[in-house]
A and B are shown apart, each in its own frame.
Chain A
């Protein structure tokens, strides 16, 4: 079974703080994703990494960046957290190629106060 592990389930951060959300997968997948989940808005792609040090912006990249130094690990970085970034963040991984299954992590609930 594919395992996608997000290091923090619940975080509370202050406005202006730099926040790191970490994600690790154990299936040697090339592709890793960060999504944001908000009620009524579904799953929106923030960033996509298709290899070590390679990334593409998703639909809502503003205020975020990603770092992928090792194949199994990707970090989502909020450079200066704001209250409108309070949300559930889902990491996912997938084997390269169109139409493969995306495997999600359990999610990280971030509250910015």
Chain B
């Protein structure tokens, strides 16, 4: 099955700096990669996703890049703000499992003033 590895497990940045979280996946046929944000005490919520037919997608201060050859994808947050502090999860959709995402282990991002 699919294996998704996520790094780093914790990340601390100063407000205004950029943050990058990286994930690798094992199943070369995986074709959908969402990112979820979980604020303290709240449910995970989708913030951005990318499909394997594109290399990059942006939504205001967040962007995701995908390198199919290397089998890795990354979340980029620019001009970080305190409200970006949360746990972020990447995920991949393995072949033959129409709905079952495999999640990474999560990155705790702390944005300091």
B99 interface neighbour in A40, A43, A48, A104, Cβ under 8 Å? A48
A50 in contact with B99 (CB, 8 Å): yes
Known: A98-B93, A98-B98. A40 touches B32 (CB 8 A): no
Q: Which residue of A lies closest to B9 (CB)?
A: A40
**Which residue of the partner chain A has the closest CB to B43?**
A104
B112 touches A (CB below 8 Å) = no
Least CB distance, A35 to chain B, in whole angstroms: 8
Judging by beta carbons under 8 Å apart, are A106 and B42 in contact?
yes
Chain B residues positioned under 8 Å from A52 (CB to CB): none
Residue of B nearest to A35 (CB): B103
Of residues 86 through 113 on chain A, the ones whose CB sits less than 8 Å from some CB of chain B are 90, 94, 96-102, 104-107
| A100, B34: Cα distance in complex, Å | 10
Q: Number of contacting residues on A, CB 8 A?
A: 28
B31, B36, B99, B105: which contacts A96 (Cβ < 8 A)? B99
Among the listed B1, B44, B49, B104, which residue makes an inter-chain contact with A104, where contact means beta carbons less than 8 Å apart? Answer: B44
B-contact bits for A21-55, CB 8 A (1 contact / 0 none): 00000000001010100001111110010100000
Q: Give me the 6 closest cross-chain CB pairs, A-B, nearest first.
A: A42-B105, A99-B32, A43-B103, A104-B43, A42-B103, A98-B98
Of the A-B pairs whose beta carbons lie under 8 Å apart in the complex, a sample of 26, sorted by A's number, is A4-B43, A31-B99, A40-B9, A42-B6, A42-B104, A43-B103, A44-B103, A45-B100, A45-B101, A45-B102, A48-B100, A58-B100, A59-B1, A94-B99, A97-B99, A98-B99, A99-B31, A99-B32, A99-B49, A99-B51, A101-B46, A102-B34, A104-B43, A104-B44, A104-B45, A107-B43
